[in-house]
Structure 1
Amino acid sequence: MHKAIPPSADAFYQTHAGQTCAALLRERLQWFWPDLRGQRVLGLGYAGPYLGAWQGRGALCISARTPEHGMGRAAGHALHQSIGPVRECVVDQYALPFEDEMFDRVVLVHACTDAAQMVPLLRAAGRVLKDDGRLLLILPNALAGRLRQRGTPFAQDVACSRTALRTMLGHAMLLPERRDEALFLPARHACASMRRGRRLDIAGKVLLPGLGSLMLVEAVKDVFSAIPLPLRSSQSWYRKLLLPAQGAATQKQGEPQRRSMPEEQAARIPEA
């Protein structure tokens, strides 16, 4: 049986469904971060179509493409003609060529296709994120999210459940704070128009909460994750009660009874 190969990100986001999908998700991104004037935003993976949520509104947006997406000939003009030019470069997502704590916001979309590499990716993104910065992931839902979006680049992305994603973020010293979901139906149906897409997302959140094809998760740095806690021996409650009594009994049996202070002074005085 022939297995359909999802189109490349460049090809998908040049279609009507791809442009509508990006526009719907940009509205959700603006809900998370409505005003980023004077801040630096890094888009990692293939985030160029989504950085238009803040491009031209006072934010410095940089799209860092991963090697599998590359840089096409018309990578900036045809794709982003409606949202303005976006600064783009190709980077190794596990060794980002940026200084530590350089960005106020980081957006990850189409950034990883291997679940085993998610933690190194998140750690690399956390390194360039400021201590008070925020990171946003757009990932397929483990509940048939990739199956419903098999005609889009999301079919190749890592799919996670809420529990698995929380564990991955914890290993990367990140802490999830807010969540949202989108595209309850395949993109060819949900992204026929902006009006239809908004209505389907609202209906899905009311009737089928938690079953959206895509998860949008905002995370922050967990400043307490690297602080070592003191190790204490685990003792049951009855053992704690018995230990003082056993210590007192051992002292009575093995050690001579200590005399009081007047008796010790009397013993030191020689007899006449």
Structure 2
Amino acid sequence: MYLDVVHLRAFYDLPLGQLLRGLIGAPVERMWPDIKGQSLLGIGYAGPFMRPYLGSADRLVAAMPAPQGAIHWPREKDNACALIEDGALPFHDATFDRIMLVHALDHCSDPSAMLREAWRVLAPGGRLIAVVPNRRGLWARSELSPFGYGRPYSGRQLKELLKNCQFNVTDDSEALFMPPSRSIGIQRAARTWEALGHRFWPAFAGILIMEAEKVVFRSLPADGKKSRLGVLRPVFIPDGAATGLKPVRRTQSDIR
């Protein structure tokens, strides 16, 4: 379920929102220090994290899902925002070199459909960055930021989701080790929290940031009996355990 775009913009205008923009934006900029001459698509509400590329990218488009709503972006320039359906992007195949998903995979109803569309409009070898709340972190349990209202992920879950949608994970990072709080004292010590968290408790970061590359070709089994694009098996089901149920799925003969 999406948050209203007016509320998202209001949050990033607050002191806490501006702080989070810097803390999350730092690892994003380390992954993508320069995209000069390239095109960048932001899906969800990625505008605050796309701003560093306003002067260098060849083209920027902020695609905001219809249930969330859309606003003029960026404020100081001609509008580069598009209202979209997250499962049917209004762009031609292989249009963009980079895609950034923020407040997207954690709020949409079908993350796989969104990633398949992102794969379609991404150029061969193009890169994608996904920013999602960490299931182990405190920010997924707090309503002080938009990251507490969506679907959190573990690192394993996000990697499997990207892999199943034909993306190869190339880099990952974490952010937001400070506890969720409006306290001025805690916010002033945010950089110290980040340094300590990266060193001593990286698994408990508030945010996961993962970069992946579009995979155009992949090998398939020669016998055709088993597809590598299988569904995710949850870790709470031990290997070899019998569930007593047989799933019903569509086959090629059903489609014909």
Which TM-score tier does this pair reach, normalised by the shorter chain? 0.7 to 0.9
Correspondence for 2:176: 183
For 2:127, give the aligned amino acid. Answer: R
Q: Alpha carbons of 1:62 and 1:145: their partners in 2 closer, same or farther (altered >3 Å)?
A: farther
Report the structure number with the largest CA radius of gyration.
Answer: 1
Correspondence for 2:125: 132
For 1:43, give the aligned amino acid. Answer: G
CA positional deviation for 1:148: 4.4
For 1:177, give the aligned amino acid. Answer: T
CA positional deviation for 1:57: 2.3
CA positional deviation for 1:145: 4.5
Asked whether 1:162 is paired with 2:162, we answer no
CA positional deviation for 1:220: 0.9
Deviations 1:136-179 (A, max 9, x none): 00001111444444211111222111221122112211111111
Aligned partner (choices 203, 206, 215) of residue 213 of structure 1: 206
Deviations 1:218-251 (A, max 9, x none): 01123443x3221399xxxxxxxxxxxxxxxxxx
Correspondence for 2:86: 93
Correspondence for 2:68: 69
Structural mapping, 1:28-107, within 5 Å: 28-72=27-71, 75-76=72-73, 80=75, 87-107=80-100
CA distance in 1, matches of 2:187, 2:121: 34
Runs of 4+ in 1 over 6 A off after TM superposition: 190-195
Deviations 1:81-114 (A, max 9, x none): 5xx6661121111100011111110000011345
Correspondence for 1:109: 102
Instruction: Tell me the secondary structure at the aligned position of residue 44 of structure 1.
Output: strand
Q: 5+ residue gaps in structure 2?
A: 226-256
Deviations 1:42-87 (A, max 9, x none): 0000011110121112442111111232124xx447xx55xx6661
Instruction: Tell me the secondary structure at the aligned position of residue 205 of structure 1.
Output: helix
Correspondence for 1:237: none
CA distance in 1, matches of 2:130, 2:185: 24
Structural mapping, 1:113-262, within 5 Å: 113=106, 117-188=110-181, 196-225=189-218, 227-231=219-223
For 1:216, give the aligned amino acid. Answer: I
CA distance in 2, matches of 1:123, 1:58: 24
CA positional deviation for 1:115: 7.3
CA distance in 2, matches of 1:19, 1:190: 14
The percentage of aligned residue pairs carrying the same residue is 29
Contact 2:137 2:206 (C-alpha < 8 Å) held by counterparts: yes
Q: Alpha carbons of 1:194 and 1:147: their partners in 2 closer, same or farther (altered >3 Å)?
A: closer
For 2:51, give the aligned amino acid. Answer: G
> Aligned-residue CA RMSD in angstroms?
2.8
Instruction: Tell me the secondary structure at the aligned position of residue 188 of structure 1.
Output: coil
TM-score normalised by L of structure 1: 0.72
Q: Alpha carbons of 1:33 and 1:113: their partners in 2 closer, same or farther (altered >3 Å)?
A: closer
Instruction: Tell me the secondary structure at the aligned position of residue 100 of structure 2.
Output: strand
Contact 1:176 1:220 (C-alpha < 8 Å) held by counterparts: yes
Contact 1:45 1:65 (C-alpha < 8 Å) held by counterparts: yes
Instruction: Tell me the secondary structure at the aligned position of residue 8 of structure 1.
Output: helix
CA distance in 2, matches of 1:172, 1:58: 26
For 1:31, give the aligned amino acid. Answer: R
Deviations 1:194-230 (A, max 9, x none): 86332211110111022101000001123443x3221
Q: 5+ residue gaps in structure 1?
A: 234-272
Asked whether 1:23 is paired with 2:22, we answer yes
